[in-house]
């Protein structure tokens, strides 16, 4: 594999440590591959085209510092799955755990999850929910109480059968979701209409014994938040379920820059135990759909199974109406797959663990102190302004290597500071989302009154540019279809198909079997006019979106 390292001799001479440390990254890459659950193919790193980084300072004196990158990422355009796994390994987002299908979320990946948490946690509180915590062990008998729930979840349960050295009398389920235990507790807390609505949320781990796993997207254990609410009326529960899918939709658009399509699941795809499931569906870079968040109107299914009742204003006992809603670490996978490119990750500034990376550049030892001091003070200025900044002042790596590395890590903005920048008290700023010279601006003053607003504006630009790009991509890959033939053509060309649908559940399953596509949702936004079911020709009330999905 060392032959993949095509380092120009100048760089090797100046930065001998580069070669010394590199094999570690390769080993990591190899260590992750054999652990794959299913056969994602690996591309040879040597087949990747060398990347080029130009460094031109603002005094017009050109310093050519061409560096072949340590390219270990399979190009996305070549093999999407291999690219995804390479990005996760190389950007140090996650690693495989020792138990099949489990995942270790590494600091850089976890920081993206923290950004998701910070935003949603505030929104949940603003909309009247309180955080709390339920035990993860659920008596097996609880799961059996709601008929469709047990049917949906029993194949994927992890069961604790031994505790404290003894065989347990009743097996314990490691929670796959918490509706059952939540209802068990709600029966103790809800007595009258004055105890309603009861609106809570928990941040927790859940376990589902999935057979085909993929980091972030589908793992045996994952992290999520699950909201659970109880209401006096169906209308209130419906309003809550819709409110929460709306919170998720706003998060997706405004923070993650993912233009999800929000809508209602078909009966076939509805959550085990819900009367209605709302969903946000995201288009990934390979045009497969990712269910990125769901909100369920549970009706009285669980309250009837558990006897969760309240006394209403006229003294009658009633079953509560409930909702539940969740977003998980799967969303991190969605962010990776929605925005990345051949060079690696591309993170929207609002969820990026590092928004700005500063790369100091010096050749002569004499220049080092001045450059590093300037870089430090720029870092302080930006940090004080509330930005997430990393100064990469290591002298183990060339600037070119650092450029590639931080691009691969998806950092939205790079600031370069060399000796001439120090003299002119200015910096060079490069955007991750605009490659090469077009994304590079010279001579931005280091003065905080100029630099800070400039950087903030650029980050905002990148945020909206990523969203706009994703919207264009999405819209150019959704085809309106009016017949099953058109649907099949759209799906087989990798696109999403949108068409009127009023056929049966059996027909829906037939479409899945024949095309691999499922109904992702009946979108909230519906076209005007009368509609005819694409399959049966019968009148249809709504269009559905069909797609292959993760």
Q: Give the interface with a second copy as residue ranges (CB under 8 A).
A: 21, 24, 27-28, 31, 95, 97-99, 102-107, 109-111, 113-114, 130-139, 142, 154-165, 171-172, 174, 181, 184-185, 188-189, 191-192, 194-195, 200, 204-205, 207, 209, 211, 220-221, 223, 396
- Backbone angles phi and psi of 109, in degrees to 5: -70, -40
Output the smallest distance, CB 450 to a second copy, in A. 30
Distance between CA 192 and CA 240 in Å, rounded? 20
Q: Which residues contact 423 (CB under 8 A, 6 or more apart)?
A: none
Output the smallest distance, CB 109 to a second copy, in A. 8
CA-closest candidate to residue 150, choices 177, 183, 185: 177
- Return the number of the residue (54 or 92) whose C-beta is nearest a second copy: 92
Output the smallest distance, CB 316 to a second copy, in A. 15
Q: Which residues contact 453 (CB under 8 A, 6 or more apart)?
A: none
Output the smallest distance, CB 112 to a second copy, in A. 11
Q: Cα 319–321–323 angle (5° rounding)?
A: 145
**Cα-based distances in Å from 100 to 33, 86, 229:** 13, 19, 34
Q: What is the SS3 string spanning 470-519? A: HHHHHHCCEEECCCHHHHHHHHHCCCEEEEECCCCHHHHHHHHHHHCCEE
- Return the number of the residue (205 or 445) whose C-beta is nearest a second copy: 205
Q: Which residues contact 33 (CB under 8 A, 6 or more apart)?
A: 42, 85
Output the smallest distance, CB 110 to a second copy, in A. 5
Output the smallest distance, CB 21 to a second copy, in A. 7
Burial profile 152-165: b = 16 or more Cβ within 10 angstroms, e = fewer: bbeeebeeeeeeee
- Return the number of the residue (224 or 484) whose C-beta is nearest a second copy: 224
Other Cβ atoms within 10 Å of 332 Cβ, number: 27
Output the smallest distance, CB 206 to a second copy, in A. 10
Distance between CA 340 and CA 419 in Å, rounded? 33
Output the smallest distance, CB 305 to a second copy, in A. 14
Output the smallest distance, CB 174 to a second copy, in A. 7
**Would you put residue 57 in left (φ > 0), alpha (ψ -120 to 50) or beta?**
beta
Output the smallest distance, CB 102 to a second copy, in A. 4
Please give the helix or strand (H or E) that residue 333 lies within, else none.
helix 330-339
The label of the residue with tokens 């003299």 reads 423
- Return the number of the residue (194 or 250) whose C-beta is nearest a second copy: 194
- Return the number of the residue (104 or 509) whose C-beta is nearest a second copy: 104
- Return the number of the residue (200 or 455) whose C-beta is nearest a second copy: 200
Q: In sequence order, what are the beta bridge partners of 444? A: 427
Distance between CA 85 and CA 230 in Å, rounded? 40
> DSSP for 256-295?
S----EEEE--TTTS-TT-SEEEEEEEE-TTS-EEEEEEE
Output the smallest distance, CB 519 to a second copy, in A. 26
Other Cβ atoms within 10 Å of 439 Cβ, number: 16
The label of the residue with tokens 């928004």 reads 355
């Amino acid at each position: 594999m060392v032959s993949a390292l095509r380092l120009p001799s100048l760089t090797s001479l100046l930065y001998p440590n580069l070669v010394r440390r590199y094999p570690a990254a390769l080993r990591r890459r190899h260590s992750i591959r054999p652990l794959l659950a299913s056969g994602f193919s690996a591309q040879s790193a040597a087949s990747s085209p060398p990347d080029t980084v130009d460094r031109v300072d603002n005094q017009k004196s050109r310093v050519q510092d061409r560096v072949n990158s340590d390219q270990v990422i399979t190009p996305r355009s070549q093999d999407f799955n291999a690219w995804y796994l390479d990005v996760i390994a190389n950007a140090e987002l996650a690693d495989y755990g020792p138990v099949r299908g489990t995942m270790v979320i590494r600091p850089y990946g976890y920081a993206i999850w923290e950004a998701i948490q910070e935003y949603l946690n505030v929104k949940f509180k603003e909309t009247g929910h309180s955080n709390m915590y339920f035990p993860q062990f659920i008596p097996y008998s609880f799961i059996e109480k709601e008929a469709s729930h047990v049917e949906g979840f029993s194949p994927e349960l992890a069961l604790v059968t031994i505790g404290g050295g003894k065989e347990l009398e009743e097996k314990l389920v490691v929670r796959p979701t918490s509706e059952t235990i939540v209802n068990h507790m709600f029966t103790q807390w809800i007595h009258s209409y004055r105890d309603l609505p009861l609106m809570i949320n928990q941040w927790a781990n859940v376990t589902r014994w999935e057979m085909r796993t993929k980091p972030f997207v589908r793992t045996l254990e994952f992290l999520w938040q699950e909201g659970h609410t109880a209401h006096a009326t169906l209308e209130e529960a419906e309003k809550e379920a819709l409110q929460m899918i709306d919170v998720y939709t706003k998060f997706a658009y405004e923070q993650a820059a993912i233009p999800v399509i929000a809508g209602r699941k078909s009966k076939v795809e509805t959550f085990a135990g819900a009367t209605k499931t709302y969903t946000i569906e995201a288009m990934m870079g390979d045009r497969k759909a990712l269910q990125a968040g769901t909100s369920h109107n549970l009706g009285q299914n669980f309250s009837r199974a558990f006897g969760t009742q309240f006394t209403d204003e006229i003294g009658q006992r009633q079953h509560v109406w409930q909702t539940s809603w969740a977003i998980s670490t799967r969303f991190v996978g969605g962010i990776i797959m929605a925005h990345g490119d051949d060079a690696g990750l591309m993170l929207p500034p609002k969820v990026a663990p590092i928004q700005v990376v500063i790369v100091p550049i010096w050749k002569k030892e004499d220049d080092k102190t001045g450059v590093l001091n300037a870089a430090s003070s720029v870092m302080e200025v930006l940090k004080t302004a509330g930005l997430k900044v990393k100064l990469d002042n290591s002298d183990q790596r060339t600037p070119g290597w650092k450029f590639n590395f931080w691009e691969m890590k998806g950092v939205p903005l790079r600031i370069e500071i060399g000796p001439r920048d120090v003299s002119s008290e200015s910096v060079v700023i490069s955007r991750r989302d605009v490659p090469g010279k077009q994304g590079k601006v010279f001579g931005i003053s280091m003065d905080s009154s100029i630099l800070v607003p400039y950087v903030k504006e650029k980050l905002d630009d990148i945020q909206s540019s990523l969203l706009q790009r994703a919207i264009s991509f999405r819209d150019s890959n959704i085809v309106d279809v009016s017949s099953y033939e058109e649907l099949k053509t759209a799906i087989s060309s990798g696109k999403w198909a949108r068409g009127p649908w009023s056929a049966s559940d059996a027909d829906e399953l037939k479409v899945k079997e024949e095309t691999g596509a499922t109904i992702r949702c009946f979108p909230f936004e519906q076209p005007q006019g009368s509609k005819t079911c694409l399959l049966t020709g019968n009148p249809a009330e709504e269009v559905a979106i069909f797609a292959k999905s993760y």
